[in-house]
Amino acid sequence: MPDSGSVRSEKCREMLVLALAPALILALILSSWGLAHWHIGPLYLNASLALAAVLLGGTPRFIVGFKDGFRGRITVNVFVTVALAATIAVGEFRPAAIIILIMSVVGALESYTLDKTRRSIQDLLKLAPQTATVRRNGVEVTVPVAELQIGDPVVVRPGERIPVDGTVVAGASSVNQAPITGESMPVEKQAGSVVFSGTFNESGRLEVRTEKVGESTTLARIVHLVQEAQATRAPIQNLADRFTTWFLPTVVVLAILAYFVTGDIKAAVSVLLVACPCAFAIATPTAVTAGISNMARRAILIKGGVFLELGHKLDHLLVDKTGTFTFGRPRVMDIVSFGGRTPSDILHLACIAEKYSEHPLGRAILAAGKEQGLSIPEPDHFNSAAAMGVEAEWEGRRIRVGKQAYLRDAGLKIAPPIDQALATQADQGRTAVLVAQNDEPLGLLAIADEIRPEIPAAIRALKAMGVKQITMLTGDNPQVAAAVARAIGVDDFHAEMLPEQKQSFVKQCQAAGEVVGMIGDGVNDAPALAQADVGIAMGAVGTDVAIETADVTLMNDDISGVADFMWMSAKVLRRIKLNIFFSMIYNVIGLSLSVAGLMTPIVAVIFQEAGCVTVVISSTLLLWSKGRPGTA
């Protein structure tokens, strides 16, 4: 990892690059002023230095201004070009140079704000190793990452970065994946765990099956999403274009009026200078990009300003169940004994029977046994009945694990108390698996998709942010859906929904005048994510289709991030309005004084650009906003 010295050096280089143009322009202005003040050399010499400063900093803006003017578009650059041309025409070279200087300083600050997200995200690409250790024909060899293929077994030693997205097939370790998911603590990884390119393997040795390389990795997708965000404009940004279209003709009329009132052409030039709408033009993009950058550091990726503007307006949130409210994997939630056997004994027998099972419920049972540290011996015989259960023999005992019907078909008697226990689990939305030894049912294992522990708190946070209704949508059966809905406290739920039904429900809510957000993680959620006003994908567990379709991605899979997104949306919109207020106040006061002949061109320049500095500083402060109340 880069040391603090190299980081400081990089920051110093960035600041020097940003300050280079303003520094050169300032040097030319001071030289021009010094020559004029001490009457050194001919007049044209100091004027030439000031004009050189104008051309050095203003040429790119003038070129764009002329192009926009020839196309019949009245933009901020056209406005600046007209104002500076008038200033130079009346011989006020240093005021023109000063406005270029201040615009260069403001531009440097604006670039710092607008590029912070891009630079911080692009730095993530440097985290991805260029080479990888891969096992081929039983030998470990080092190859360029670009040569890796899907399925390659990659070896990652302690202290190395993981070069691919994939699944751990051997080994165990703690992995720091803060750059991807924002988690502050290392995450324990073992066989079956998903790992991401660019994350840091801290302790153990891992062998990873390659599943994504290059542009398809999560790391590369993050860069892609943020680049899209940079290119998307919020609707409120169009205000600047509409404002400039009618404002320039108005200012020209005011400049003419100022000339007739004062009889001084410099008063007319002052009107043009003080009215440059630079502050108004940058009021929105600087605030939006600062908000996007702040959220990116919190592992919440926003594709563009339009979605940041909509975020605080969400009043109906639709949420997929599996993988969003739940982890999307079955887990043993309870063990019920029908006799004197302990829950540990029942689980042990079930694990023996399921040792060779490929069924998800079988894997959940084995995972529960592993959590309890049970030693699972090999069964002497194994047989499975598809979608019904398994049967195994061990030490002369016949063990059966499966559905009620499976055990009945095998001739086992299911007593009424067992039926009642099964019904109780079904009411809780759980799948009950019976465990029998020889011809005696010993107990049951209650298995369900585990609810994420942070969900109840996240729902309270969303309600506090103004979400009026939270509805759970799922393709699961009504009993399971009802149980999850009760446990987490959502307002409503709809079960057994197909993808097109989810999309239709989004349309129905929108037709009722609601601003709809949709949270999902799977391919089946993609139509609804695309239809919603704001589609929100779970980034770590979500499918590529869901992430590409969504407008916002939660890289740490914590839906409380939606509340953070809504909070930042409201904060950015307030900051945009404050920025516009600042720019309008500066313009109104400046125009009033200029029309009255109370401003010189230099004072007009300083006054106008003070508005730009105020707006940029106001927006930049969003980069360091700590977060909504109640969060770290």
Catalytically active residues are 320
Q: Is the dihedral of CA 487, 490, 492, 496 positive or negative?
A: negative
Between strands 316-320 and 469-473, the pairing is parallel
Those residues whose C-beta lies under 8 Å from the C-beta of residue 511, and which sit 6 or more positions away, are: none
Amino acid 182 reads G
What is each CA distance from 543 to 213, 519, 525, 540, in whole angstroms? 15, 13, 10, 9
- Find out whether 585 and 560 touch, Cβ atoms under 8 Å: no
Burial of 572 (0-12, 13-18, 19+ CB in 10 A): buried
Q: Is the dihedral of CA 218, 4, 188, 323 positive or negative?
A: negative
Q: How far apart are CA 54 and CA 323, in angstroms?
A: 58
Q: Which residue, among 292, 401, 300, 275, has the nearest Cα to 346 in the 3D structure?
A: 401
Amino acid 380 reads D
Amino acid 59 reads T
What is each CA distance from 298 to 119, 178, 222, 235, 250, in whole angstroms? 15, 10, 13, 25, 44
Q: How far apart are CA 441 and CA 349, in angstroms?
A: 12
Provide the b/e sequence for 419-446 (b: ≥16 CB within 10 Å): eebbeebbebbbbbbbbbbeeebbbbbb
Q: How far apart are CA 118 and CA 120, in angstroms?
A: 6
Q: Is the dihedral of CA 547, 465, 621, 615 positive or negative?
A: positive
Q: How far is CA 542 from the centre of its chain?
A: 13
Q: Kind and range of the H or E element at 444?
A: strand 440-451
Between strands 316-320 and 516-520, the pairing is parallel
Q: How far apart are CA 403 and CA 400, in angstroms?
A: 10
